[in-house]
Amino acid sequence: MGKSLYSLILSDEVVRKIDALAHRSGTNRSNYINSILAEHASVTTPERRINDIFGLINDFFGDGDIVPFYTPNQSSMSLKSCLEYKYRPTMKYEVELYRSEVGKTVGQLDVLFRTTSSELLNKLVEFFRMWVNVERSVLPLEHEYELGEGKFSRSISSENVMNHSSGELAAAISGYVKLFDNSLKSYISGEKTPGEIGNNYSKYAKNTEILI
C-alpha cells in the first residue's frame, strides 16, 4: 500500500488535538490521521493489520508461562519466558512484522538470551542448530536463519501470505512461539531427546493449516 504527499487545510485547534492524541498513541500526525481516515473508509492499512495481529497474540498469551509485552502502533512486540534451569534465565522472543511483505516473508522472530553459563550456552546453541535442521527437513518454504552472540533469528514466512487474515497469522505466530518455547524447555531440561522434538515438530506441521 503506497503513500503520497497531500495538502490539507485544517484548523490549528484540530491539529493541536491530533498531535496530542498521536503522541499518546506513540505515532506521528500523518500516521494518526491516516489511521483515522482508513478506519472511517473501512480500509485496512499495514499498520492496522500489524496492530490487529499483535493484539490477538497478546490475548493468546494473556495467561500462561509466556508473558507478552505489547504496545500499540509499534512494528514489534516482545514475549518473555523463563527456563527451568538453576537460576531460571529469561528467554525473550521479539516478533517483528514488516509493513510490506517481502515475497513470502512477513517478518522476523528473534530469540534473545543472556547467560554467563558456558554449559547453558552450549545447550542453547545445540538446540538452535538442531531446530534449524528439523525445520529444513519439514517446512515447505526455505527460511532465513542467523545465530549470533545472544541472539537466534529466523524469518517468518508463509505460502499465500497475502491471503491470510490477521487472525490466521496471529494464531500461526502464537502457535509457533509456543511450540518453540516448549521444545526449548524440554530440551534444556533433558525431558525430551532431539528425536522426540523432531517427531513433535512433524506432528505439528501435519496438523497446522498455516506454517510460518
In whole angstroms, what is the distance from residue 168 CA to residue 173 CA? 9
Task: Please give the DSSP secondary-structure letter assigned to residue 204.
Answer: H
Q: How far is CA 1 from CA 6, 42, 136, 191, in A?
A: 16, 14, 32, 47
- Give the pTM: 0.81
Pairing of strands 67-69, 76-82: antiparallel
Q: Each residue of 147-176: pLDDT tens digit?
A: 999 999 999 998 877 788 999 999 999 999
Query: Residue 161 has what DSSP assignment?
Result: G
pLDDT tens by residue, 23-73: 877 778 887 787 676 666 655 577 889 999 999 999 999 778 899 999 888
Question: How do beta strands 76-82 and 90-102 pair?
Answer: antiparallel
Torsion of CA 196, 211, 165, 57, to 10 degrees: 40
- Cβ–Cβ < 8 Å for 68, 172: no
Report whether 61 contacts 68 (CB < 8 A): yes
Q: How many Å apart are CA 60 and CA 57, to the nearest integer?
A: 5
Share of the chain above pLDDT 90, in %: 60
